[in-house]
Chains A and B, each alone.
Chain A
Amino acid sequence: MIFTSFNFLIFFPGVILVYYLLPEKYRPGFLLLASYYFYINITPVYALLLAGITVSTYAFTILIDKTKAEKKRKLFLIINIIITLLPLFFFKYYNFVNNGVFNLLQSAGIRWPLPEISFFLPIGISFYTFMALGYSIDVYNEEIKAEKNFGVVALFLSFFPILLSGPIERATNMFPQFKGRLVFSYKKAVRGLQLMLWGYFMKLVVANRIAILVSNIFDNADLKSGGSLFMAVLLYPVQVYGDLGGYSLIAIGSANVMGIDIIPNFKRPFFATSMSEFWRRWHISLISWLTDYIYTPLSFQLRKYKIWGIVIALMLTFLISGIWHGAALTFIFWGVLQGTFLSIEAITNKKKKSFVKKHNLDKKKWYIFISCFFTYLLFAFSEIFCGPINSMHKAFFVIRKIFTNFGGPLYYYNPSMIIFILFGISLLFFVEWRMEYYKGAFSFLSNKSWVVRTLLYALLIIIILLIGVFDGGQFIYFQF
């Protein structure tokens, strides 16, 4: 069951109705049942995997918490990390590593093939694995006490709004909510519904529409002009934003309706003026997870190398981020690219800051615009390696064609396509621009007048009905 399916439109109101009709003490239990039903509805057998990781995380965190000896605590943590990562490795990286080792051995004249596996990647595995790891490390670091109520841990790892594509939540935020009072809040419910509505707009009107054009161009890259490929490269980040950003808003919104707060995942990323700022606004829950559990400990360990310690930590963190996205050379290269961008910024940061301050550039609109555009361009080009193009050869072919064969007809599918894309992007950017630069003045869905609000809700739903793409299929991040 995915958020854009008709089933979800029946499932969600049904869950909300039963949830609030039930006495408060039964609500967490009901949410756990609903979450497992939600997951079983996609691939029943993989619910066992989720349950297995839950049992292991629960047991080992209790053991870590109870144990005094540091060596033993560390051993329990390492065992749990291995158990938690094993399914992810098996489903996501086995074939990649197997092929790599096979090719390496073959080049040394040794032929030792292991069988390939052809299972579907369990949806959400990368997300709940990171949540489980984060919780175990938090218990080990004594940031949080191990939870004794198994139901709370199980609900944390399976909570249906965030189960499939995040945001990657933290136990420190979720446990107190699940253990506290789950009561109806008018403000939260309304805000949640607003976020869901905007999320559906982002996914159905923006992302799914762009996806048709972009995949059509990339799938036939050899027949399309460099100009068309450049257009697809520029559009793809907006597609991903509409997709994962939209998903995140629906997730956060649906949790809000149940009175639960979820951490934000995006903060108007295309208004970032540098790559480091961009990564503070894009897929925030993943980046903050990587920062807390990889980058910070690494840069602390490497502090004696000063700026070069930071560079190494950045490179390694984004390498892991690339590998997290997928088992392919393209994703690894993407991670290296991001690490390189951020390292260059880290090295030149002081000089850049003083230059900007000296010329008062950060107040100048043209400078902000150029910085935003340049940041967007860097990210868009790096996404060639993290998007629908799944081979290094094809990715470089696309880049080469953009620079050497830009001319030729611009492929736009049909006139409706380009009009709908422009409309969707314009509305999205207009709303975000208002939120970014006119804080407090954003009254799109929060207008003081109830009549205006009602009309705007209705209008947005009508727009989705009129130009949304309902057959757009899965969310991009289900594959990660």
Chain B
Amino acid sequence: MINNLKKKVLKNLLLKLFVLSITLVLLDFIIGSLLDIFYFRQESGVLYRTTYAIEKTKEDLLIFGSSTAIHNYDPTIFEKGLKMSAYNVGNDGRSVFYHYAVLQAVLKRYKPKIIIYDFEIREFSKDQESYDRISSLLPYYKKNPEIRPIIELKSPYEKYKLLSNIYPYNSLIFTIGIGNTEFNKKRRGDINGFVPLPNIWNHPIDTITFVNRELDSNKIKIFESFVKDCANAKIELFVVCSPILIEPDYTSNSEMMGEKIAKKYNVNFMNYSKDSLFINNPKLFADIGHLNVEGAKIFSNIVKENIARVSKSLTKTGNQ
């Protein structure tokens, strides 16, 4: 009698859990599919820039990097100066993991002539955020198998989490909604991926201190793969360190490692992080790490001229 009652209770619970699971699967499928449609329907905004970088780029020159890339490199200056199409595929707060995933997706479709890789002062620093931010690639997991190994660096369980249709769009519902409006096109204007910063830095600059952090072997390995893949595809790669407002009182261990790898593959490594034109010159900066529109113009011209001077492909094709 008691056993029968227990069995009945357990059966009841299992049945209810089954119904809940079915409801969840259905809701997850419907909401996830809708989010997928609207995500890839965007034609402007921060999410669209990732889609463009992964699925649509066709330019001869691509600029890779994080926020320093977006705000410091004006592709129109490279277009005019080097006579080739250019696009800035930089993305705020992203690390070498993101850049390498974008490169893989690009190489699957075509081979750009020149790539500029904006190398940060803390490029290889170990931090959890770099792994967390791989999540911006989740919407592309299913359609782009070439980027899956990068996504799986986030966690070995990522492929199981991605059984959910909603999970790739976690925290994006509002951004997707806004990204599908006309208002967004006006709000987030970029010029070939370049987002100019209009303001001038007007805060005291003596309170910031830099510290060398532990290096992440995954980041070093992936960066080396980036350099190697460019070399194999015969893409001319320029690794460039952007200017910063305050001269660091130490030599960045990331920079040293980056330079060593660049040297190994005979790649140009241009370091402007200690350039006297920019150091302690707040008029050219929007904040400590990012140039303003004026600074970006000057810096893009400097990089363009240096590329024109040393580029092998430009000399061959006579693009100059």
| Chain A residues engaging chain B, CB cutoff 8 angstroms | 6, 184, 186, 189-190, 222-223, 414-416, 419-420, 450, 454-455, 457-459, 461-462, 465-471, 473
Contacts and interface: CB of A to CB of B under 8 A. Distances in A.
B24 A450 contact: no
A465 B28 contact: yes
A325 B100 CA distance: 43
Given A466-B31, A466-B166, A223 B23 contact: no
B291 to A, nearest CB: 18
B6 A184 contact: yes
A473 B171 CA distance: 16
Nearest to A223: B203
19 contacts: A6-B155, A6-B157, A186-B9, A186-B13, A189-B13, A222-B207, A415-B174, A416-B171, A416-B172, A419-B174, A420-B171, A420-B174, A455-B23, A457-B20, A458-B24, A462-B24, A462-B28, A470-B170, A471-B135
A249 B319 CA distance: 66
A414 B175 CA distance: 10
Given A184-B6, A415-B174, A461-B24, A473 B16 contact: no
B167 to A, nearest CB: 6
A256 to B, nearest CB: 14
A259 to B, nearest CB: 13
B214 to A, nearest CB: 14
B28 A416 contact: no
Contacts of B155: 6
Contacts of A416: 171-172, 174-175
Nearest to A10: B157
B178 interface: yes
B173 interface: yes
B10 interface: yes
Contacts of B306: none
A432 B132 CA distance: 32
Nearest to B167: A465
Contacts of B277: none
Contact of B166 (A419, A462, A471): A462
A186 B161 CA distance: 29
Given A184-B9, A414-B175, 19 more contacts: A6-B157, A6-B160, A6-B161, A184-B10, A186-B12, A186-B13, A190-B13, A416-B171, A450-B16, A454-B16, A454-B20, A458-B23, A458-B27, A459-B27, A462-B27, A462-B166, A465-B164, A467-B173, A469-B171
Nearest to B21: A458
Chain A interface secondary structure, helix, strand, loop or mixed? Answer: helix
Contacts of B6: 184
A434 B166 CA distance: 30
B317 interface: no
A454 B128 CA distance: 36
B19 interface: yes
A225 to B, nearest CB: 12
Nearest to B166: A465
Contacts of A470: 170
A473 B28 CA distance: 25
Given A222-B207, A466-B31, A454 B23 contact: yes
Contacts of A469: 171
B236 to A, nearest CB: 36
A300 to B, nearest CB: 48
Nearest to B31: A462
A468 B169 CA distance: 11
Contacts of B16: 450, 454
Contacts of B12: 186
Interface in B40-68: none
A287 to B, nearest CB: 33
Contacts of A414: 175
Residue in A184, A189, A458, A461 with the greatest tally of chain B CB atoms within 10 Å:
A458
A471 B132 contact: yes
Residue in A184, A419, A459, A470 with the greatest tally of chain B CB atoms within 10 Å:
A470
Nearest to A414: B175
A222 B203 CA distance: 10
A382 to B, nearest CB: 27
A420 B174 CA distance: 9
Contacts of A466: 31, 166, 169-171, 173
Contacts of A458: 20, 23-24, 27
A467 B177 CA distance: 14
A467 B175 CA distance: 12
Nearest to B6: A184
Contacts of A6: 155, 157, 160-161
A373 to B, nearest CB: 29
A465 B175 CA distance: 16
Contacts of A189: 13
Nearest to A470: B170
B170 A467 contact: yes
A401 B314 CA distance: 54
Interface in B92-136: 128, 131-132, 135
A184 B128 CA distance: 40
Nearest to A185: B9
Nearest to B131: A471
Interface string B181-202: 0000000000000000000000
Contacts of B13: 186, 189-190
A414 B207 CA distance: 26
